[in-house]
Amino acid sequence: MVEKVEHDIVNCIFKIYTDGEEAGYLTYDKESGTIDIHHTVVDPSFRNRGFGRILVNAALKYAQGEHMEVIPYCSYARVIINE
């Protein structure tokens, strides 16, 4: 099983693929100095494999590289960030 995360910066979305199939996505908005995470969604057939965590971590890494604060409106992202 190969996981691949793609970042569509224009549409503010991270998508995760496994073996070529989309397993989930994370959406966000960019405001002045912040990245607001709105939704983290993993297809039910791909749950419990850590894909949501991978998506949140990808968004955090992107925000860090852009020197932006993360505001997790998504409850799942909030849990991961506060661990």
CATH 3.40.50.300 fits 3-81, yes or no: no
Whole-prediction pTM value?
A: 0.94
Rounded average pLDDT over 43-58: 96
What is the rounded CA–CA span in Å between residue 30 and residue 9? Answer: 10
CB 73, CB 38: distance < 8 Å:
yes
pLDDT digits (tens, 9 = 90+) for 1-35: 668 999 999 999 999 999 889 999 999 999 888 99
Rounded average pLDDT over 44-73: 96
Largest CA distance in the chain: 38
Rounded average pLDDT over 33-49: 96
| Domain residue ranges of the chain, discontinuous segments joined by + | 3-81
pLDDT of residue 2: 66
Residue 3 amino acid letter: E
